[in-house]
A and B are shown apart, each in its own frame.
Chain A
Amino acid sequence: MEKVKLFATWSSPFVKRIVWALKLKNIEYEIIYEDLANKSPELLKYNPIHKKVPVLVHNEIPICESLVILEYIDETWKDACPLLPKDPLDKANERFWAKFGDELVLPSFFGYIMKQGKDQEEAKEATLTHLKRIEQLLSEKEFLSGESFGFLDLAFGWLAENARPLEVVTGLKLLDENSFPNLCTWKDKFLEIPAIKESWPDQETLILKYQEIKESKGK
């Protein structure tokens, strides 16, 4: 009997991609929500180096770093819903773009939302530049991973999931249909995938939760 535990928070984009992967592959797991201001001894035991979520614990063995976890899940539960393609060049491309997403797109996007003044302007410019590249990737493909969704879609899923809730709460236009038609189409398709659609928190709940955060910060 496989025992799978996931250390998580509701808001982490890195956690969410793991939840989706586990659901897509029909893997039973126990989720443990962490309070990052008061980390559990278990989390610190399983991820002593970074002390972060997500951590996947499979039969008592921990795996850390979300993209590493995704590949581990794909290699361990091979039969259901393969995430990475078989072709080495396609795989290399997905890994490259996933890294680009995490290192450049995600930080600039959330920077744009959270920063002020000149820093916000710079983050906005950077985000637009990065998003253009992703828009380009979708010019000949249904999904980022090709004909059907996969690893790279999960890696960018945070964008699909957060675009509308954050736009509603902040008033910032994040994914404009005129500038990013491919990304907007992709976003809607991604959110319709059953495993994505059914996972918590859903879009309406995200809006409420982000609204609460905004109000508690008095912004």
Chain B
Amino acid sequence: MAVKLLGIWQSPFVLRVKLALSLKGVEYEYIEDDILNKSSMLLQYNPVYKKVPVLVHNGKPMAESLVILEYIDEIWKNHPLLPEDPFEKARSRFWAKFVDDKFVPMIIRMLRITSDQKDNAAKETREILKTLEGSLDPNKPFPEDKSLSFMDIAIVWVGYYTQMLEKMLDVKLLDDENTPLLNTWFRVVLNLQVIKECLPPFDKLLTHYTNFHERHTTAS
């Protein structure tokens, strides 16, 4: 097939690419890789980072989820993901980068957090989420399937994975007093059909990361 996506089911970065392809109705072959035993295909297609997602289009590979999203948007012009206006584009890119720069290291930390550091980490996470809430315009209607944008795709996974962390660690991260608008936004957007179809199953995700957390916090 002309379009292949190398991924792992639990990756939120792979999710972003799946969403973009789904929204634009692009047919593709999905290839599940193994994070503990990376395929030679992955190592060949992404020798620099050796990570998924990798999109292969007409034999040409590319990596980094946000770079892939922009490529998809430029090749398949239906359901445009990025706005036309350069400032709005810049704004979308800024917030997508914010999530990657601030939230991703936080989630990585949380997946290895010990019980004595949990509350502090939770507080910092809530602060990052509060800042993220600033990306939302309270006067703008919530997105629908047909209006999901680059920024929505870049951000939506944060809500799902945060919910997973809350259950896993028994902490409050999505606090309605702290981030009422963001929480509502997540609830609405995570319930959209196209999003639900691409999300990894919640219980599977929870079990997977609970095991991960146990392995990384138990003294060997």
- Which residues on A are within 8 Å of B, measured CB to CB? 49, 58, 61, 63-65, 68-69, 71-72, 75-76, 88-89, 91-93, 95-96, 99-100, 133
Contact check: which of A49, A95, A133 meets B70 at CB < 8 Å?
Answer: A95
For residue B93, CB closer than 8 A to chain A, the reply is yes
| Chain B residue with Cβ nearest A89 | B60
Query: 19 A-B residue contacts at CB 8 Å?
Result: A61-B87, A63-B94, A64-B94, A68-B94, A69-B90, A71-B93, A72-B86, A75-B86, A88-B71, A88-B74, A89-B60, A91-B71, A91-B74, A92-B67, A92-B70, A95-B70, A96-B67, A99-B67, A133-B48
The answer to whether A91 and B64 have CB atoms under 8 Å apart is no
Q: Does B97 contact A (CB under 8 A)?
A: yes
Q: Chain A interface secondary structure, helix, strand, loop or mixed?
A: helix
Contact A65 B64 (CB under 8 A): no
> B48, A100: Cβ atoms under 8 Å?
yes
- A93 in contact with B90 (CB, 8 Å): no
Interface size on B, residues (CB 8 A): 22
Closest CB in chain A relative to B219 CB, distance in Å: 26
Looking at the assembled complex, report how far the CB atom of A65 sits from the nearest CB atom of chain B, in whole angstroms: 6
Would you give the shortest CB distance from B93 to chain A, in whole angstroms?
A: 5
Chain B contact residues, CB within 8 Å of chain A: 48, 57, 60, 62-64, 67-68, 70-71, 74-75, 86-87, 89-90, 93-94, 97-98, 131, 134
Q: Is the CB of A89 within 8 A of B97?
A: no
Instruction: Using A95-B67, A96-B62 as known contacts, list a sample of 5 further A-B pairs with CB atoms less than 8 Å apart, ordered by residue number in A.
Output: A64-B94, A75-B86, A92-B62, A96-B63, A100-B48
Chain A residues closer than 8 Å to B87, beta-carbon distance: 58, 61, 63, 72
Given the interface pairs A72-B86, A95-B64, A96-B62, the reply to whether A89 lies near B71 with Cβ below 8 Å is yes
CB neighbours of B71 from chain A (8 A): 88-89, 91-92
Contacts of B86 in A (CB 8 A): 72, 75-76
Chain A residues closer than 8 Å to B67, beta-carbon distance: 92, 95-96, 99
The answer to whether A89 and B62 touch (CB under 8 A), given A63-B87, A96-B67, is: yes
Task: List A contacts of B68 (CB < 8 A).
Answer: 92
